[in-house]
Structure 1
Amino acid sequence: MEDNIIIRPLTNGDCAAIQALILPIQQIEFNIPITLEKQPDLLNIEKNYHATGGGFWGALAGEKLVGTIAMIGIGGGAGAIRKMFVEKEWRGKEKQIAQQLLAALIGYSRTNGITNLYLGTVDVLKAAQRFYERNGFQPIQKSAMPANFPFMAPDTVFYHLDLTTYA
């Protein structure tokens, strides 16, 4: 585990750093045809995440944002995980950044009465899918997702984690 990584909540003051991390990963690295205009949530973190009962967390190496994870509270004790991205140089089991980010989100969820986590991802993100599955997420059909889940157009693979049975 990297000793110099700090996981902390992100706010609107971090929007530029969040966009600078996420957009190149989506557009350049993974060739996902999505723009900032199609992700207006990245322009107001506090309204779109914190105000829903969710949150937005970042992994910082010094002052540099190297990873993010977010959750939208969707009601009924459920949350929708979004924006799980780690800069390429900071990925991998040895660095544990994705694991630390997920642990922060799960800790917050447990403290705030969120017992079910859902997420959608893109088929091309195989490493992300393996990561979620290693962490107890179960693949589910899109039709089994909660009615109030905020779907993103590119998402084709869906997961659920029941925190009441998660160790």
Structure 2
Amino acid sequence: MTIQQLNNSHSQQIVNLILPIQQIEFNVPITLEKQQDLLDIEKHYIGPGGNFWGVIHDNEVVGTIALIATGHNAGAIRKMFVKKEFRGKELGIAQQLLDELLRYCQQNNITDLYLGTVEILKAAHRFYERNGFQKISKEDLPDYFPFMQPDTIFYHLHMQA
């Protein structure tokens, strides 16, 4: 398994990973139409100074994480998903993906990270909290945070420059 930068050539695999996790596994009421960014990774993530990474196993994307550069030395984490059979501390895929994103942030002078998630993703909440993210209210998000409709729980991480 390797972590690599993903681009538009991976869009269909990314959709095939993320949508079933959102819709079927966790019943999050979101459709592809509300996530058009998945169809143009280069425009929405890479072009503005962020990135989109994936874990590839046997030519299949089995995990993803993305960063939207928002300016203000800040970014928003998006699309953190790992296929069910690849989750857990044994393989450590989620941690490897987050570590890759954090390295990118350090190299690119991004010192504040924000993310939104949903109530049902309790394991994700614990994961972010173990990694130093602090839960914040929606009102405490900066005005440049790219809000996603289903999100109700928000986190912030301040890193030293």
TM-score range, shorter chain: over 0.9
2:114 to 118, 122, 131: 118
Residue 161 (structure 1) aligns with: 157
Match of 2:36 in 1: 40
Specify the code of the residue in structure 2 equivalent to 1:8: Q
1:79 partner amino acid: G
Structure 1 residues 46-125: aligned runs within 5 Å: 46-125=42-121
Amino acid at match of 1:99: Q
Gaps of 5+ in 1: none
Task: Output the CA distance in 1 between the equivalents of 2:110 and 2:52.
Answer: 15
After superposition, the CA RMSD in angstroms is: 0.8
* One-letter code aligned to 2:32: L
Q: Find the residue that maps to 1:119 and give its secondary structure.
A: strand
Q: Which amino acid aligns with 1:100?
A: Q
- The match for 2:130 is 134
CA displacement at 1:163 relative to structure 2: 1.3
**Cα distance in 2, alignment partners of residues 93 and 52 from structure 1:** 32
Unaligned runs of 5+ in 2: none
Separation of aligned partners in 2, 1:116 and 1:6: 26
- Aligned partner of residue 13 in structure 2, secondary structure: helix
**1:154 Cα deviation from its structure 2 partner:** 0.4
State the match for 2:5 in structure 1: 9
Identity over aligned pairs, percent: 62
Query: TM-score if structure 1 supplies the norm length?
Result: 0.95
Q: Does the residue aligned with 2:47 lie in a helix, a strand or coil? A: helix
Separation in 2, partners of 1:67, 1:129: 17
1:62 maps to amino acid: D
